[in-house]
């Protein structure tokens, strides 16, 4: 009260003087109270166009009312879950974030490790002191970390997914929690990186055993529940076999959506004085897609059901935050997927299946012929090689000579498109093509292989199903949709990267951009938020 007395007196006595001395009052930007950052694992861009007529839920709303970027790419190599999810909210590239793949060879321990495995943590939520997961390999900040460090009110940051890496990497190192599913019991778990025990509401969610509610259930195409043939019938006994099939069904996404609602509600997200961030990654689309490929009717059915479950999620978020104006939704995918080689060959398209053992044996044989006996290739990542450096030292050969020989041997395979050696990549030679750039953006010297090999389009390892990881559009081209709050409907044809999401959200929230950011602010999305402030300023003059 006393603090106000003097200015009030001045204002009354010398109104004009006061008006000159005081800066014009600035109406604060109306920031979103709740951000949902959604990734649908393996959701190709063309799923937003091929099945558009059948969408009536969340995807329909985002496509018809939101900001739609039709040429958005995960512009790195390999295009896999960990790299895509790390890029999503760091705005970074694998070469800087350190997340170069789902797995890589760790020279210190002499074994291949996952992007999020962390022996110093324990799994929370299941019995038996199992090793936990954490973002300790992520060496840059996420949007959530920047929100936490910004002193702009209190922000809750939580990540959820069926996969640990997809819950952990988008939410970041300072996240309040990340939750994922135990692959055996279907229980929601976390790790001691975040907390020593699950909160009561997650424990009671686990008591409901939602994952096991589909034991023996048959998944029918939508609208054919009575007359049709089921896509699959789930096993009747719980366990790993059940879980691995259940993960391929829409029921897994349904459970994740229920968990998202529970987290938002019980954490009071969107109701505090800051902005809260929930990252959600739906994994069932990826598990299914690997098994049946993008042309299968199951994928269409799954996509239509994804649209429905997203509709439920959007409605819950709007209710939770007290109105659509308080919510900002961004949706993308971590990568796309290649057609099944047999399907492609039948329609006169190129590609095929490669035999990994034969591929490695031929490169190994070339190295032995040139440099002498020994096991030269110590590990692989995607189609790239790591060499045994002790053997190289023992044989007194140059590392670059071994790299060149292996690269030359790989190039003799009919399905290899191009190679990159560690020596080449460390020199940062001028890159000529888009694929060169994708590779350069992804080479992290401590973790990357000694030779990176890019296959020709549509070639895959593995005897059945399909996969992703290539730098080609079917793997890199993904949806990018923003909806809610001040977002205006626009369809942008601009070529954008998924690394553009984090700086755009940082601009809207007026927080620092994440440390490894290489993306650009998407003006189509951010401008209405920023204009809101300048508009209110002008009104005062």
Active site residues: 81
Measured from the CB atom, the residue of 286 and 298 that comes closer to Zn ion is 286
**Secondary structure of 232-248 in the HEC alphabet?**
EECCCCCCHHHHHHHCC
Measured from the CB atom, the residue of 33 and 468 that comes closer to Zn ion is 468
Is 334 an interacting residue with respect to Zn ion (CB under 5 A)? Answer: no
Is 248 an interacting residue with respect to Zn ion (CB under 5 A)? Answer: no
- Distance between CA atoms of residues 475 and 162, nearest Å: 21
Residue span 194-213 as binding mask against Zn ion, x where in contact by CB under 5 A, dash where not: --------------------
Does 395 carry a binding-site annotation?
Answer: no
Measured from the CB atom, the residue of 117 and 436 that comes closer to Zn ion is 117
Measured from the CB atom, the residue of 267 and 286 that comes closer to Zn ion is 286
Window of 44-52, 242-250, 281-289, 441-449 that interacts with Zn ion by CB under 5 A: 281-289
Residue 94 to residues 137, 333, 343: CA-CA distances in angstroms? 11, 16, 32
Rounded to the nearest whole angstrom, what is the least distance from the CB of residue 461 to Zn ion in the complex? 13
Window of 50-58, 112-120, 188-196, 283-291 that interacts with Zn ion by CB under 5 A: 283-291
* 169: DSSP letter: H
DSSP annotation string for 66-91: SEEEEEEE--SSS--HHHHHHHHHH-
Enumerate residues 370-409 that contact Zn ion by CB under 5 A.
none
Residue 13 to residues 8, 18, 310: CA-CA distances in angstroms? 9, 9, 58
Rounded to the nearest whole angstrom, what is the least distance from the CB of residue 513 to Zn ion in the complex? 29
Rounded to the nearest whole angstrom, what is the least distance from the CB of residue 139 to Zn ion in the complex? 24
What is the token pair recorded at 108?
Answer: 């210190």
* CA angle, residues 526, 528, 534, in degrees to nearest 5: 105
Does 111 carry a binding-site annotation?
Answer: no
164, 183 in Cβ contact below 8 A?
A: no
Rounded to the nearest whole angstrom, what is the least distance from the CB of residue 286 to Zn ion in the complex? 4
409, 363 in Cβ contact below 8 A?
A: yes
Window of 173-181, 286-294, 382-390, 527-535 that interacts with Zn ion by CB under 5 A: 286-294
The secondary element (H helix, E strand) that includes residue 452 is strand 451-455
- Distance between CA atoms of residues 484 and 109, nearest Å: 46
User: How many residues belong to the site for Zn ion (CB under 5 A)?
Assistant: 1
Measured from the CB atom, the residue of 80 and 211 that comes closer to Zn ion is 80
How far apart, in Å, do the first and last CA atoms of the chain sit?
Answer: 28
Measured from the CB atom, the residue of 318 and 333 that comes closer to Zn ion is 333
Residues in the chain, how many? 541
Rounded to the nearest whole angstrom, what is the least distance from the CB of residue 247 to Zn ion in the complex? 11
Does 163 carry a binding-site annotation?
Answer: yes
Measured from the CB atom, the residue of 41 and 176 that comes closer to Zn ion is 41
- Distance between CA atoms of residues 470 and 273, nearest Å: 43
Rounded to the nearest whole angstrom, what is the least distance from the CB of residue 283 to Zn ion in the complex? 9
Window of 48-56, 229-237, 279-287, 485-493 that interacts with Zn ion by CB under 5 A: 279-287
Q: Strands 218-219 and 459-461, how do they pair?
A: unpaired
Does 102 carry a binding-site annotation?
Answer: yes
Is 286 an interacting residue with respect to Zn ion (CB under 5 A)? Answer: yes
Window of 127-135, 213-221, 282-290, 529-537 that interacts with Zn ion by CB under 5 A: 282-290
Rounded to the nearest whole angstrom, what is the least distance from the CB of residue 162 to Zn ion in the complex? 12
- Other Cβ atoms less than 10 A from the Cβ of 204: the count is 12
- Distance between CA atoms of residues 196 and 498, nearest Å: 33
The secondary element (H helix, E strand) that includes residue 504 is helix 501-509
**Residues at the contact surface with Zn ion, assessed by CB under 5 A:** 286
- Residue set of the binding site: 102, 163-165
Q: Which residues are annotated as a binding site for substrate?
A: 102, 163-165
């Amino acid at each position: 009260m006393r603090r106000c007395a003097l200015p009030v007196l001045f204002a009354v006595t010398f109104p004009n003087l006061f008006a000159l001395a005081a800066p014009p009052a600035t109406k604060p930007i109306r920031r979103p109270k709740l951000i949902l950052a959604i990734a649908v694992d393996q959701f190709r861009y063309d799923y937003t166009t091929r099945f558009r007529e059948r969408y009536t839920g969340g995807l329909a709303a985002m496509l018809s009312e939101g900001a739609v970027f039709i040429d958005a790419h995960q512009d790195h190599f390999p295009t896999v879950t960990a790299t895509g999810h790390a890029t999503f909210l760091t705005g970074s590239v694998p070469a800087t974030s350190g997340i170069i793949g789902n797995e890589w060879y760790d020279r210190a321990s002499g074994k291949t490790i996952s992007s999020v495995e962390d022996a110093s943590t324990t799994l929370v939520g299941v019995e038996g002191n199992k090793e936990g997961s954490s973002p300790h390999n992520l060496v840059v900040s996420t949007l959530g970390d920047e929100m936490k460090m910004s002193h702009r009110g209190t922000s809750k940051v939580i990540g959820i997914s069926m996969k640990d890496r997809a819950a952990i990497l988008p939410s970041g190192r300072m996240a309040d929690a990340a939750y994922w599913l135990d692959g055996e019991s279907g229980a929601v778990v976390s790790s001691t990186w975040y907390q020593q025990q699950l909160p009561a509401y997650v424990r009671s969610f686990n008591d409901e055993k939602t994952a096991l509610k589909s034991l023996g259930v048959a998944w029918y195409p939508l609208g054919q529940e009575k007359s049709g043939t089921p896509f699959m019938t789930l096993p009747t006994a719980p366990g790993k076999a059940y879980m691995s099939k259940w993960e391929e069904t829409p029921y897994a996404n349904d459970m994740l959506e229920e968990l998202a609602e529970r987290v938002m509600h019980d954490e009071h997200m969107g109701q505090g004085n800051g902005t809260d961030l929930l990252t959600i990654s739906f994994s069932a689309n990826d598990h299914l897609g690997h098994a049946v490929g993008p042309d299968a009717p199951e994928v269409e059915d799954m996509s239509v059901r994804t649209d429905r479950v997203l509709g439920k999620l959007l409605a819950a978020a709007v209710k939770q935050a007290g109105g659509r104006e308080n919510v900002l939704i961004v949706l993308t995918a971590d990568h796309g997927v290649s057609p099944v080689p047999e399907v492609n060959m039948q329609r006169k398209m190129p590609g095929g299946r490669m035999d990994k053992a034969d591929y490695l044996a031929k490169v190994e044989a070339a190295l032995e012929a040139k440099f002498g006996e020994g096991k030269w290739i110590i590990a692989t990542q995607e189609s790239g090689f790591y060499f045994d450096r002790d053997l190289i030292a023992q044989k007194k050969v140059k590392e670059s000579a071994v790299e060149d020989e292996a690269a030359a041997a790989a190039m003799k395979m009919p399905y290899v498109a191009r190679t990159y050696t560690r020596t080449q990549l460390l020199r940062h030679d001028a890159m000529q093509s888009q694929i060169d750039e994708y590779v350069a953006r992804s080479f992290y010297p401590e973790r990357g292989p000694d030779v990176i090999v890019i296959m020709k389009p549509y070639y895959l390892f593995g005897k059945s199903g399909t996969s992703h990881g290539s730098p080609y559009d079917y793997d890199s081209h993904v949806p990018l949709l923003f909806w809610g709050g001040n977002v205006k409907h626009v369809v942008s044809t601009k070529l954008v990267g998924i690394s553009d999401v984090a700086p755009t959200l940082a601009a809207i929230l007026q927080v620092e951009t994440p440390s490894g950011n290489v993306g650009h602010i998407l003006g189509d999305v951010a401008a209405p938020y920023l204009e809101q402030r300048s508009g209110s300023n002008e009104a005062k003059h």
